[in-house]
Amino acid sequence: MTPDGRYIVVRGRLWRATNPSLAEPERQRLTQALMDARRAVKAARAAADRDAEDAAHRAVDAAKQALGERGPVWWTDGAPDLNRKMARNTAYADWFASVGG
């Protein structure tokens, strides 16, 4: 996780973290909805059901937006959204190098 808590880093890439201001019960509920939707994507693919897969992808997107991982950023200081950027190419480059990135 970046020092400001905005991103997690996976294979050197920044991914927006869940909004830390969400109440824990709400975060848990939304995370469960996200996991359920991801399982629905897998099941729909296995069944070759394109309509169900599309609906499941929409459910994944809705959960990720509600968690703050997609859509408008949850921070208010005007900093840009660096989601999916390589950490080494952002303002986090020095921090990332210092943690072995």
CA 82 to chain centre: 12
Looking at residues 67-78, what average pLDDT do you find?
A: 97
- Domains of the chain: which residue ranges? 1-17+78-101, 24-68
Query: Do residues 12 and 87 make contact, with C-beta atoms less than 8 angstroms apart?
Result: yes
Which DSSP letter does residue 3 get?
A: T
The whole-angstrom separation of Cα 1 and Cα 35 is 21
Does the pLDDT of residue 101 top 90, yes or no? no
Q: What is the pLDDT of residue 39?
A: 99
The whole-angstrom separation of Cα 60 and Cα 7 is 19
The whole-angstrom separation of Cα 83 and Cα 70 is 9
Structure tokens at 33: 């909805």
Q: What is the pLDDT of residue 63?
A: 99
**16-68 residue pLDDT tens:** 999 999 999 999 999 999 999 999 999 999 999 999 999 999 999 999 999 99
Tokens 């703050």 belong to residue: 68
Count CB atoms within 10 A of the CB of residue 46.
9
